[in-house]
Structure 1
Amino acid sequence: MLRLRIQVATWPRRALILTDTPHPECPDCDGVGGIEHEYGHPETGEYDGSRWEPCHCWNETRRWTLLPLPAPPRWLRRHRTPVDPWASNEPPF
């Protein structure tokens, strides 16, 4: 059974896509879609990275393009400034 979700893809071109999602009641991954295996450095034992093993309950490459989206105009891409809500000097009350 497919559990579909609409997303915005940005590569190779902006588009609305329909994707499959992990099974929410999967006993192996608890609905996350995979299992993360963290490992340490063999000599020091410190954290050295992680490896993602996808679960059998979904196929992350299964996707269908619904609607290609136009690229934003150049003037909008040049003048867009990131807005940080925590950068204000005002108190939160």
Structure 2
Amino acid sequence: MIRLRIKVTPCPRRALTLSDTPRPDCPDCRGEGGIAHDYGDHTGEYAGTYWEPCPCWTQWAVILLPLPHLPRWMRRPRRDSDPWAPAGYSNEPPF
């Protein structure tokens, strides 16, 4: 059985997509869509996570409607950089 939902996808272009969702009562993945396996490097330190998709869910999506780009005046300003500083870095002292 397919459980469909509509969502906005940002890449490669904003669009409304129709996609499948994981089964919420799945005993293997508990509704998350897959099982995460952590692994380490040769010293035993954490090196990353391997994601194993659950068979209760298919990872497909169909683009229903491409969304237009927002005009510049409607976009949110980026808060992570100083627009008056050269190359995004401030040359002012920290006091």
Pair in the same fold by TM > 0.5:
yes
Q: What is the CA–CA distance in structure 2 between the aligned matches of 1:2 and 1:10, rounded to whole Å?
A: 23
Number of equivalences: 80
TM-score (norm 1): 0.75
Deviation at 1:66, TM superposition (A): 1.8
Deviation at 1:15, TM superposition (A): 0.8
Q: What is the CA–CA distance in structure 2 between the aligned matches of 1:81 and 1:58, rounded to whole Å?
A: 36
Q: Which amino acid aligns with 2:12?
A: P
Q: What is the CA–CA distance in structure 2 between the aligned matches of 1:31 and 1:22, rounded to whole Å?
A: 6
TM-score (norm 2): 0.74
SS at the partner of 2:29? coil
The CA RMSD over aligned residues, in Å, is 1.9
**Pairwise mapping of residues 27-42 of structure 1 onto structure 2 (< 5 A)?**
27-42=27-42
Q: Percent of aligned positions with the same letter in both sequences? A: 59
Equivalent in the alignment of 1:88: none
Deviation at 1:73, TM superposition (A): 1.2
Runs of 4+ that moved beyond 2 A = 74-77
